[in-house]
Amino acid sequence: AQSVTQLGSHVSVSEGALVLLRCNYSSSVPPYLFWYVQYPNQGLQLLLKYTTGATLVKGINGFEAEFKKSETSFHLTKPSAHMSDAAEYFCAVSSFTGGFKTIFGAGTRLFVKA
């Protein structure tokens, strides 16, 4: 069975500060990992994904995430927060287990203070 745990339902940072959103996963097969962002009243937009290969993945809007198998983690970072980064962020895990299914974490709402 797969699961995703996002540590911290709310994270608040100052503009220009480092953003760190934590995600840990559980999967019985090699996972494929995703970060999505959701702005108010909008759908989900893919930030980045890890499938295979390089464990440090770069995405849109300056975000990146590192897959650490030993820690079962896929934390999302951005060196310098911008006001426009304020949104809900979802970590997700997917794997082919005879079917196609993506499991989402509970989400972390990012607040950016001026």
Partner 1 sequence: EPEVTQTPSHQVTQMGQEVILRCVPISNHLYFYWYRQILGQKVEFLVSFYNNEISEKSEIFDDQFSVERPDGSNFTLKIRSTKLEDSAMYFCASSESRSTDTQYFGPGTRLTVL
Nearest to partner 1 of 8, 79 (CB atom): 8
Rounded least distance, CB 91 to partner 1, Å: 10
Tell me the residue type at 47.
L
Taking CB under 8 A as the rule, does residue 44 contact partner 1? yes
- Pick the binder of partner 1 from 7, 49, 59, 77 (CB under 8 A): 49
Stretch that binds partner 1, among 21-29, 45-53, 61-69, 78-86 (CB under 8 A): 45-53
Residue with tokens 């980064």: 85
**Sites for partner 1 among residues 73-112 (CB under 8 A):** 90, 92, 94-96, 98-107
Report the relative pairing of strands 19-26 and 3-7 from DSSP bridges: antiparallel
- Burial string for 43-62 (b: 16+ CB within 10 Å, else e) reads eeeebbbbeeeeeebebeee
Burial of 86 (0-12, 13-18, 19+ CB in 10 A): middle
Task: Kindly list the residues in this chain that would bind partner 1 in the complex (CB under 8 A).
Answer: 32, 36, 42-46, 49, 51, 90, 92, 94-96, 98-107
